[in-house]
Structure 1
Amino acid sequence: MGFFDNVVGKLFGKQNGKSAFIHEVLSRSEREISAYEAWKNTPECSTIIADIERGYYLKKQGIASSMEVHLLESQYSNGFAITFNQEFTPENFQHVFDYFKEKGLDQGYKLAQADRRILDKDTYEETIEKWYLKPNGVDDSTGIADQKYGNILIEKVAIDRKENYMKLMANIYQDRQYTEAKPFTELIELLFKPEK
């Protein structure tokens, strides 16, 4: 173990392959927000979101497309992942990531967590940006929380500072304290609904 690793280990505890070397709040600069707002009104935004939607529905039918979409389906979690490829630039990939967060917020969700973790793996560096959205709360008249589509997790992953993939997952509660979750298919339609 080198001197630096030894000092870091003493100050922050031993680092393993899964601990964050850097863990910070994820926020956007004014410049990034302006660029995103401008991007939403461009043909590129409409085209990319339509391509992701087409890739999603083609994948549901077992058909490959140029937009690499992967389905993530289980009893309590549903979602999809998108592989970074020639259809994207790092900038518009980030915009798509922020777009899905905004679409979730439009459905009555609140941002519960926003963070960036940089993990120092043995042979590479992994950066994970995360938006974590939760339904707004409990209905005071019934005491039951409307879980909507469940909690929504949106992550964007880069390997060695190069974009790799993003995923969106809706995880539902199986508990009497929550309403029954709305169908994931409905959330998908809302996520891909064009901007007005």
Structure 2
Amino acid sequence: MALSQVINVISTNNTKPTWSRQAILTWCNKCLNSDIQKIEDLCTGAAYCCLLDILFPDSVNLRKVKFISNQEIDYINNLIMLQQCFTKLKINKSIPIYKLVKGKFQDNYEFAIWFRLFYDANFTKMPDGYNATEKRNNQPLTKEQAQKIRRSRTATTLTPKLSVRRRSRTHEPTIEEPVLAIARGANRPHI
């Protein structure tokens, strides 16, 4: 789709269709081959980046999207990247970044409804051979899935290696032993 063909949508309380949260989640999960359970999980911005990539292939550099994170700063970066893509594509929508990253239902639900309107207005067909999971390098889209992955990674990297140090029969003093001996008064240097 060429930039001149972007259809901007305006959403007001009187004009927008109302989708239930379940309808929004079903739509997201179908499009992205994911398992998003809560509207609040959209606060990461990752799902929106992937959805925009479906509409306008390669408009978002998905390698720069932070999928595995629970930090607001990463969500902010994802949404800033999305806003930059909106500007480049001439999409007339200001993303309420600092409201969305808080993860509150109402803010994320309202933006999800707008995004669904925008998606429906601009979607013609799925790009040939498009695989949403492969496109995001099999990264998760929910905070819970990201936390599980992070926990499993840190569990494997932080597992302590136990090693038993045995003293040899001939004990060699460590650096600390002379210092301790001086502190106890032994081997005081003569002045």
Normalising to structure 1: TM-score of the pair?
A: 0.22
The structure richer in helix per residue is: 2
- Structure with the bigger RCO (C-alpha within 8 Å, sep 6+) is 2
Normalising to structure 2: TM-score of the pair?
A: 0.23
The structure richer in strand per residue is: 1
Highest Rg: 1 or 2? 2
